[in-house]
Amino acid sequence: MRSGGIQRLREWGAANPWAVDIGLALLVQAAMTMPFVVPRGPELEPATWPAYGLTTLTVVPLVWRRRAPMAVLLAIVATSGLYRLALEGPGQPLPYTGLVSVYTIAVLSPPWKRLVTAALLVVAVPVSVWLNTQSARELTFSLFVFGAAYAFGRLTDARQRAHRVEAERAAARERARIAREMHDILSHAVSLMVVQAEAGPVAVRAAPERAEAAFEAISATGRDAMTQLRRMLGVLRDEEATAAPRAPQPGVGELPELLARVRGGGLDVRYATEGDGRGLPEATGATVFRIVQEALTNVVKHAEAHSVSVRLGYGRDEVEVRVTDDGRGPRAGGPGGHGLAGVRERVAAHGGMASAGPGPGGRGFELRAVLPLTGAGEVRG
């Protein structure tokens, strides 16, 4: 809860930079007001309104610190110098405005501006100390605090860069996941619809009742694809994703329906399970479904097979998926598609392994995937 509140505060600050900078300027102004309101000894310089007004003038430029950091630093140096030379007023325990300006330059400015800032500080800090106390102790302390402000600024810049890189990587992973989902949905649906549509005219002439079933299968496949696509597009729209409940991903329970659609295209599909057949975690079940879906899509598109066998083997710590057809097998030098690569990516995300090649006895084609069911089997972000 605490980290969530901090994250929301950061998001608000990123969306309202002017409000943040005004708030920071007011905070600095409050700190610099302290020497003017705290009772002072008679031996110290009095706290006058002109001195306080000029102190405020050194704070105002901080409102523009992100838009013109170098100009802000020069304005602060000028007004601070004017305060030292023209007025006698309460000093400050820390050069607040200068520290904020140096920190901002270290975070936001390119290297050449940071180099100019360092050169300016090498001159301005000793001059300020000479005008104030001419003390080596103050000089050492001033150089230390300005160096610390610069170092913190560079650390902040490095952390922000790391966050941006991680956000870009997360976005790339999400784009790849969405691309796999879209490929699996569309490739499977279109392949089945093409096969069934090509078989339709033949069935009309030879067996009209089969033609009607083929057209119904085309319609059912299209409706299912549209349903899944709407669900995915709804998740992509922030307003819809937050307003509408998300439908669960298809899992092992939806395999019979998937196999029935493939059978509707004329392919003999056999399905068997081995082991206790216990329920799978949602992410693992969705991956099993997509693996079988992609394997059947490849059979329909490329294998010229008459039958295909789908087997799920439940072990103590893993589940094995085997899809074997009696088609023409892998083609040497054939073009590589995205489907099998997507299967390997899905399986690797669960810490499993996948292989594809000739079926038993060198006949047909077999896709095999093993997914762990232990903690290692959780999908990696």
CATH of the domain at 204: 3.30.565.10
Whether 128 and 250 share a structural domain: no
**Domain coverage including residue 8:** 2-134
Q: Name the region of 304 (left: φ>0; alpha: ψ -120 to 50; beta: rest).
A: left
User: Are residue 288 and residue 200 in the same domain, yes or no?
Assistant: yes
Measured CA to CA, the distance from residue 61 to residue 103 in angstroms comes to: 14
Using DSSP's 3-state secondary structure scheme, residue 182 falls into: helix
Q: Please answer whether residues 271 and 310 qualify as being in contact, where contact means their C-beta atoms are separated by less than 8 angstroms.
A: yes
Beta bridge partners of 320: 313, 370
pLDDT in tens, 132-173: 777 888 788 888 988 899 999 999 999 988 988 888 888 887
* Same-domain check for residues 211 and 338: yes
Compute and round to an integer the Cα radius of gyration of the chain.
35
- Amino acid of residue 190: V
d(CA 142, CA 92): 12
Average pLDDT (74-85) is 81
Is 286 domain-assigned? Answer: yes
Number of independent structural domains in the chain: 2
Q: Are residues 128 and 222 in the same domain?
A: no
Task: Looking at the structure, tell me whether residues 200 and 129 fall in a common domain.
Answer: no
What is the Cα–Cα distance from 151 to 129, expressed in whole angstroms?
22
Instruction: Determine, yes or no, domain membership for 166.
Output: no
Residue 190 sits in the same domain as residue 317: yes
pLDDT digits (tens, 9 = 90+) for 255-278: 888 888 888 777 889 999 988 877
Structure confidence at residue 3 as a pLDDT band (50, 70, 90): low
pTM over 0.75: no
Residue 153 lies in a domain: no
Q: 170-213: per-residue pLDDT in tens?
A: 888 777 777 777 777 777 677 667 766 665 665 556 656 655 66
Q: Are residues 256 and 323 in the same domain?
A: yes
